[in-house]
Amino acid sequence: MKQLRYLFLLLPLLSFLLPPVAPGLAETRAGDSGIFTVDQTTRCPVCGMFVHKYPDWQAQVRLGDGTVAAFDGVKDMLAYLFEPQAYGAAEGSQVVEMGVKEYYNLAWIDGRSAWYVVGSTLLGPMGHELIPFADRAAAENFLRDHQGREILGFAEITPELVQSLRHGSRMRPPPRQD
């Protein structure tokens, strides 16, 4: 009984030590809780790379049916977001939530509310990358320090921009829609 009392005293402290989760990704599949944990077999549906090898760059989406897809970088997540069926999502699937890792503290943040630096000197696992930040001030600091080209909100990111960042990388192209 004494140990149980100590456990209840420690629970509030543990909540400060655990990283925050992106809103909505807490329910990845029925009965699961927390950010979807990738294992050594989890592959990015866009490029096929093993996601666990790049923990600082990971991004995730949850579809309306509860399916979770994990990516080795934001660029891959966005390629998937613009064409989920091209990368294996069921017809009619919609991305309902997305999480990205904030560059400086690696905390999971909502991908739709993040600020992204484009065109910096920092390269991700697949080359040029969109670097996510929780607030614009952090993005501005990074932009100055790493010669970024611009800062974009999620709504400003276009499929054309994502494709331009993919140019020259060895990502597999989406299947032809003939």
Contact 98, 74 (CB under 8 A): no
Q: What is the pLDDT of residues 80-100, one digit of tens each?
A: 999 988 998 988 888 899 999
Residues in the chain where the model's pLDDT stays below 70: 1-35, 168-178
Per-residue pLDDT of 18-49, as tens digits, reads 333 333 333 333 334 346 788 999 999 999 99
pTM of the model: 0.75
